[in-house]
Amino acid sequence: MAKRNGQASTASGRRTFTEEFKQEAVQMILDGHSVASVSKNLGIGNTNFLYRWKAETLARSGPAAKALDSQVLELREELQRMRRERDILKKALSIFSQQE
């Protein structure tokens, strides 16, 4: 079995990937890289591997990760609301400064 960058080939020609390799790939996706770019950069031909590894990783992470995901969602919604408020205030400032 020949190993290369976290990948190994079996006698039947199937590739196997180390857990470390899978975790690194999933972390790249979670860091915001697209599945297609991670697949290309790591030389993984089938993106289905990455989707499965990500799902398995998230399932193993349990309720703590789900709580964190919901907190991130709340913060993103709050950020969006704050940006809308900022834009409204900018427009108001522009209108009031033109009237003087």
**pLDDT tens per residue across span 70-87:** 888 899 999 999 999 999
- DSSP 8-state symbol, 32: T
* pLDDT given for residue 2 in this prediction: 42
Q: How far apart are CA 14 and CA 77, in angstroms?
A: 44
pLDDT tens-digit map of 49-73: 999 999 998 888 777 777 777 888 8
DSSP 3-state assignment of 17?
A: strand
Determine which of 29-33, 77-81, 84-88, 89-93 has the lowest per-residue pLDDT on average.
29-33
**Of 94, 5, 89, 86, the residue nearest 42 (C-alpha):** 5
